[in-house]
Structure 1
Amino acid sequence: MDEPRFRDCARYWRSPLLPGAEMVTAEYREHEFSPHWHEAYAIPAIEAGAEAFAYQGAHHVAEAGTVPVINPGEVHTGSRAMEVGWRYRVFYIPVDFMVGLAGDIGSAPNPMPWFPTDVIRDPDLAARVAYAHRLLEALGATPDLGTPHGDPLAAETALIDAMSTLIARYAQHPGDARRASADPPRVALMKERLAADLTAPLSLTELAEQVGLSAFHAARLFTQATRMPPHAWRNQLRLQRALALLREGMAVADVAAACGFTDQSHFTRHFRRMFGVPPGRWQAGNAGTR
């Protein structure tokens, strides 16, 4: 008998036990994530099927029982690696949480933990991550992040256990794992310029003049450092900024305009590519949460 195929469906949710984080419970078959990045750590546990993704210049396949961690700000994709698709649970955990936990483990302030590019094939860790995710989801927090139902103590204990295990077994320092960009100060300055006003038109020539380079060299430097050309990186930042406005209940069309998208359809197309659901559906599950 053929194995049943997964559907394209996802539910984003939040928990008061993990402020600033987002979680998703999802399965996909037809959907393909275009190149994108997150401000948080993306920490998935693949439960069934297999996901293929491009990351750090290589093609990877994450099968059931693996934890394909994506570091903050790193460009990646996502699609099915087998006919049935894949099912997973994902934590999007803020950097400050992971830095603080790393410091607690080491009993001293630690640099930002950085995780290997390769898929982490550790069934025990995958089980811990999935278990913590299920317990947090089972709490059923209200949209305003009020008092959750269930056992918060067990859920938070499982969360700390899963993330501390990940850090203890696999964390590196960014300098140990990341290739240095050719000119970090110039790249940082370009990012600052791109983020200054997301609604204002900006040409590549104007961006290049900001750092004293030709348009060609500015685009090449930026793309080498971020694995994404400036316009695509700026669109990803717009999507990140849109999340807070959607949570506040702002109309999707107004969010599109406020974040610099040309219109609502342009915003919706990019949003779905990154999050797997249209902004209206994402908002329905997240409105009012901070």
Structure 2
Amino acid sequence: MHLSPPVEPMLARSVATLPAPGARPMLFEQKADGFRVLVFTGPKPYLQSRRGADLGPAFPEITRAAAALGVEAVIDAELVVWHEGRLDFTALQHRARLRGAKAERAAREQPAHLITFDVLEAGAVLMDQPLHQRRSTLGSLFASRGLAAPWALCTQTADATMGRTWLDPAWAAAGVEGLMIKDSGSRYRPGERGWLKLRRRMTAEALIGAVTGAVHAPHSLLFGRLDPAGRLRLIARSTPLSRPAAAELGAVLHPAGPEHPWYGRRFSAGWGSWSSIRSNLTSSPRSMSIPPWISVPTGTPCATCDFVTT
């Protein structure tokens, strides 16, 4: 029996703190800022995104590495791009849209890498084996095949104290966005949130300049900050709000008119996208601390404004 794409990857649920020590040993891994992928190696290589899309045409160097592995395997990994000593998610997003000659050129100029952390198949399907055995198999695969770039083995430890150090801001500067926490004896359960994910908690002050959805029942928030010239600059868009959060914020926000500094402006829906966000402006923008559930993309241009978000 062989696995064939698409295969649902095993997922993680977010936690606010490290779990208390229990009877079952846990393993800790760095969470890199990249794309989750399943790599099908062998004569018919396939690079599957988390949602099942084929990323192979955008990352031809990874497809070639998968074909050259010399064994049929299915490897769970984070696809990343390094730039100037850190993981560059913006460059990764840009590369994902390229095809053909442009993709080949990007592969030479900004090569992608695979930070591998699990193996679902290697000679046989391994999903019913405990994680520590699958990890051992993955390590043996690296040793027996002499794997080097673009392959990399994810840093892992059973020491919670060591894992906690990976939440230090110094690691954030390198593109490590948090910590993965896994039961050493767990099986691989496609589509289930059987792992834990602890993101680094950081806060920042910002103004709510606009919302998606109705102002009295916002779906997400558009945050801004004043630059040295006093202009309100878009810096982030939140993840979708829960119903309680939407109700709480909707009670204090009010629609804005032509006096709003963003009046008449539109914002890009994402990196490289020509579509715009349908947003509603808020009057007397409210200042708040951006909590951990806010998604803050970095370096994303606004399609029709004269600034770049940070």
TM over 0.5: no
- Judging by fraction of residues, say which structure has more helix: 1
- In our comparison, the structure showing a higher alpha carbon Rg is 2
TM-score normalised by the chain length of structure 1? 0.27
TM-score normalised by the chain length of structure 2? 0.26
- Judging by fraction of residues, say which structure has more strand: 2
